[in-house]
Amino acid sequence: MAGAAASIDLQLMRAAALLDDDPAAAGREAAKILAEYPGHAAATLLLATARRHCGEVSEATSAFAELAAARPDSALLQLELGRSHAAQGRPADARVAFERAVELEPNLAEAWRELSMLHAAQGETLACDVAYAHYTRLALPEQHLAEAANALANERHAAAEALLMRRLSDAPNDVAAMRLLAEVVAEREDYVEAERLLGECLRLAPGYANARHDLAKTLHSQQKAAPMLPLLERLLAHQPQDLHLRSMQASAYGILGHNERALEIIARLIEQFPGDERVWLSYGHQLRVAGRQPEAIAAYRKCAALKPEFGEAWFSLANLKTFRFTAEDVAAMREQLTRSDIPNGPRLQFEFALGKAFEDAGEYAGSFAHYARGNALRRAAILYDLSNSTRIVERSVNQYTAEFFAARAGAGATAPDPIFIVGLPRAGSTLLEQVLASHSQVEGTRELPDIPGFALELGILETRAKPATYPLAVARFTPAELTALGERYLAQVRPHRVQGRPYFIDKMPSNLLHVGLIHLILPNARIVDARRSPLGCCFANFKQHFQAGNWFSYSLQDLGRYYRDYVRLMAHFDAVLPGRVHRVYYEDIVADLEGEVRRLLEYCGLPFEDGCLRFHENRRLVQTASSEQVRRPIYADSVDQWRHFEPWLGELKEALGDVVEQYAARPRRST
């Protein structure tokens, strides 16, 4: 008898092994066992499961119901019965079975997952997320992803990606692998692919909170606040007191210009978490944007007092630009740099802050040394190849000819609403934005990520495995598709237009790479090139630590080459689209504010308004590094600041080449 039982068990094991790849064969094997041993419970269960896999759900449901009636205390049978009811389109019966399964066996992970999917189908989001949280807690640890996770933790991104791609080729619905792969591709700023992967995670597992959180983070990296908010609201419904989620929510409201709402959220967080330095940091950021500088300084100082080794607090003070460190501040920062346990992230923040402190004190050699060390640390931490940008410029010059544009005349969304300000950062773009936003018909928004997002979708990223297809992909667009993309841009940016004025500003500097695309999809948009002298602009970028993007700014050689590419590309558009781009030189607007403002407004089709000359009186929210400077009347101090550092700029001059002389020789406008 024991031998017969062992033989049946062996037959069942062999049949069960066929279930995933060949359920029909598994069913036939189970039927053979039942022919010899009628009523065998395990064989009946296997046969019913095989039938469900084969789509014979009615027969499967009858079998599961019969088995469940015979064994009412079996959670596994209730799980399978629920799956069969769900396959038949009977959600109410499925819910009864799944709920009975978790009642009988609260640790049955698969039952919680099925229950989560059922709640999702019924639109019961909170119940869906609660059930999936149970599943996540109970599911087996993701040991099969340990090697890939370790590779990612050690910044071996290519190895991690290869391991995860291999896993997904074997198990395409492995949402944990998808989520980890999204993290890998986000590290190289392929946010389009990261969003796709995380979206697929949530399609397969609507209650997967970790994937929803990662999607919110990915959107935040791109400053896409509008789609962030519903994700955060759903996460907060399950975790209403989560500090990180509420901080992200405040940041999203801030990005959209709802600063009072952001401050309200952070003020409540400060009441609840008065000892958390990151809350005080966020509070300082929002106060700064609102122009409440004394309060912002107090918040940053509180942050530094709570955690003196938190470099970002000190850099945030330096980033106020008009702030001056005390001798005690300098001593405190230098002391932190003597510590061996300070990671490179905070360390470089201290270096940039000390560079600013030494510069303000007139100690230029020491200042440059700190700036150089900060930049070197940052450059070593990022994956960036300037030649990719150079190739984008080359492809743009080759593709965007006068004939190319003429062949597509009449395409694109006709709205004249956007005013794009392009160029390198620290070239006076915030000043121009503030001037224009002081006009009654123009709304200042922020550096909007939407045009760079389109470029990502069109294949701007370049890797060894995947050559870039941008802007070549633009050539395939029909006029209708170009128009649709322009309309999509206008729809996406609408949440940022809170004042409802006829025109708005998109001040994303990197849009300089996308002038051709902008012209094609928004032919009536204005494009303003904010330009500053090569040495002044490049060194101003070298002094600035950007939280994300602008990867060319951490090397004097990269800066010089990027500036040259920029000049070449703008010269090309001047040639093939004469008059399309209006250029404003920073030095000219400092020398003749009214004349340059009048010319700028004329280009934008706007009547002159005196308020544009009193831009410093405008109390609008300003979210860039120049937020304090544009709240002061125009001043000439910064025009030649780079000259204090000229002894150390040989590498930059060499990389810039003849553009320095060309800039100096440019024709001046008559005042």
> Contacts by 230-233 with C-beta closer than 8 Å and gap 24+?
none
Amino acid at 286: Q
DSSP per-residue letters across 44-93: HHHHHHHHHHTT-HHHHHHHHHHHHHH-TT-HHHHHHHHHHHHHTT-HHH
Question: Alpha-carbon torsion 636, 285, 645, 562, what sign?
Answer: negative
Per residue in 644-668, pLDDT (tens digit) is 999 999 999 999 999 999 998 888 7
Q: How much is the pLDDT for 671?
A: 47
- With contact defined as beta carbons under 8 Å apart, do 593 and 634 qualify? yes
- With contact defined as beta carbons under 8 Å apart, do 322 and 285 qualify? no
- With contact defined as beta carbons under 8 Å apart, do 659 and 568 qualify? no
Q: How much is the pLDDT for 627?
A: 45
Q: How much is the pLDDT for 386?
A: 87
Please give the angle made by the CA atoms of 427, 621 and 605, to the nearest 5 degrees.
Answer: 65
CA dist., res. 48 & res. 76, Å (int)? 13
- With contact defined as beta carbons under 8 Å apart, do 142 and 176 qualify? yes
Phi, psi at 540, each rounded to 5°: -60, -35
Q: Is 523 helix (H, G, I), strand (E, B) or coil?
A: coil
Q: Is 35 helix (H, G, I), strand (E, B) or coil?
A: helix
Q: How much is the pLDDT for 631?
A: 45
Token pair, residue 374, equals 């900060």
CA dist., res. 226 & res. 663, Å (int)? 41
> What residue ranges of the chain have pLDDT lower than 70?
1-9, 12, 15-20, 26-27, 29-31, 33-39, 41, 44, 47, 464-465, 618-638, 669-671
CA dist., res. 40 & res. 586, Å (int)? 86
Residues 6+ apart with CB under 8 A from 656: 534, 535, 538, 560, 563, 564
CA dist., res. 91 & res. 83, Å (int)? 10
Tell me which residue of 543, 385, 399 sits closest to 473, measured CA to CA: 399
> Contacts by 133-137 with C-beta closer than 8 Å and gap 24+?
133/207, 133/209, 133/238, 134/102, 134/109, 135/109, 135/110, 135/207, 136/208, 136/209, 136/210
Amino acid at 127: A
Residue for token digits 């402190």?
A: 357
Fold adopted by 389-664: Rossmann fold (3.40.50)
Largest CA distance in the chain: 108
Our CA dihedral for 383, 346, 244, 128, rounded to 10 degrees, sits at 30
Q: Is 526 helix (H, G, I), strand (E, B) or coil?
A: strand
Alpha carbon of 630 to those of 58, 424, 434, 626: distances in Å?
A: 72, 17, 7, 6
CATH homologous superfamily, domain 2-138: Tetratricopeptide repeat domain (1.25.40.10)
Give the CA radius of gyration of the chain: 30
Please give the angle made by the CA atoms of 623, 563 and 432, to the nearest 5 degrees.
Answer: 35
CA dist., res. 488 & res. 473, Å (int)? 18
Q: How much is the pLDDT for 638?
A: 67
Give the DSSP H/E element, type plus range, for residue 638. Answer: none
Q: How much is the pLDDT for 5?
A: 57
- Number of Cβ within 10 Å of residue 296's Cβ equals 24
- With contact defined as beta carbons under 8 Å apart, do 538 and 560 qualify? yes
Residue for token digits 């039982």?
A: 5
Model pTM score: 0.80
Q: How much is the pLDDT for 69?
A: 82
Per residue in 157-201, pLDDT (tens digit) is 889 999 999 999 989 999 999 999 999 988 877 888 899 999 999
CA dist., res. 546 & res. 424, Å (int)? 13
Amino acid at 114: E
Residues 6+ apart with CB under 8 A from 671: 591, 592, 595
Domain range summary for the chain, segments of one domain joined by +: 2-138, 308-381, 389-664
Q: How much is the pLDDT for 12?
A: 66
- Count of positions (residues) in the chain: 671
Alpha carbon of 333 to those of 93, 257, 305, 319: distances in Å?
A: 65, 33, 12, 15
CA dist., res. 307 & res. 14, Å (int)? 61
CA dist., res. 252 & res. 531, Å (int)? 30
